[in-house]
């Protein structure tokens, strides 16, 4: 039986409920996930995704760097985060300048924490200047 050489207290990544979990790791690999009892969100309980859905973490198919498609129909190429974020910021700024802030909409995700979704709507309203903010759970 494996014993954890490291415990990581974190938030379940699957939905905005924000259940608190402990990742049990051995040699850097997650082998067990347990709900934490010391909080008022989930009191140790987890749904099936939050309890068992972590195989993707160590998948070799997982994207671990941004991809940029430099030409239409070209294969996306790996890039650095600075290059990718500069590209997105530049494109958003150009669209905003040409068509106005309300031409941009921000769709947030149930897979983000409430705090991440709060920050995204702040970015939309305070930086981009659009109130077109929606959530995938409404689709
Ligand atoms: S996916 Fe399940 S375990 Fe994870 S935060 Fe949502 S309800 Fe909690």
pLDDT (tens digit per residue) in 41-91: 999 999 999 999 999 999 999 999 999 999 999 999 999 999 999 999 999
Give this prediction's pTM.
Answer: 0.69
Q: Output the residue whose Cα is nearest ligand 1's atom 6.
A: 15
The count of C-alpha atoms lying within 13 angstroms of the C-alpha of 29, restricted to the half-sphere facing its C-beta, is: 8
Q: Is the C-beta atom of 14 inside 6 A of ligand 1?
A: yes
Could you tell me the two tokens for 137?
């759970």
Residue 1 inside a domain? The answer is no
Domain extent, residue 50, equals 6-58
Q: Output the residue whose Cα is nearest ligand 1's atom 4.
A: 50
CB 10 within 8 Å of CB 23? yes
What is the C-alpha separation between 125 and 71, in angstroms, rounded?
Answer: 31
Could you tell me the two tokens for 14?
């699957």
Q: Are residues 52 and 100 in the same domain?
A: no
What domain count does the chain have?
A: 2
């Amino acid at each position: 039986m494996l014993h954890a050489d490291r415990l990581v207290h974190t938030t379940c990544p699957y939905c905005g409920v924000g259940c608190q979990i402990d990742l049990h790791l051995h040699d850097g690999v997650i082998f067990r996930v347990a709900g934490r009892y010391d909080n008022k969100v989930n009191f140790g309980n987890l749904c099936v995704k939050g309890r068992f859905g972590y195989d993707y973490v160590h998948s070799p198919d997982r994207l671990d760097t941004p991809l940029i498609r430099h030409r239409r129909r070209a294969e996306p190429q790996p890039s650095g985060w600075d290059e990718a974020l500069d590209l997105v910021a530049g494109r958003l700024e150009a669209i905003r300048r040409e068509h106005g802030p309300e031409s941009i909409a921000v769709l947030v995700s149930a897979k983000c924490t409430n705090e991440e979704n709060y920050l995204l709507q702040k970015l939309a309203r305070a930086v981009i200047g659009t109130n077109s903010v929606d959530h995938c759970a409404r689709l």
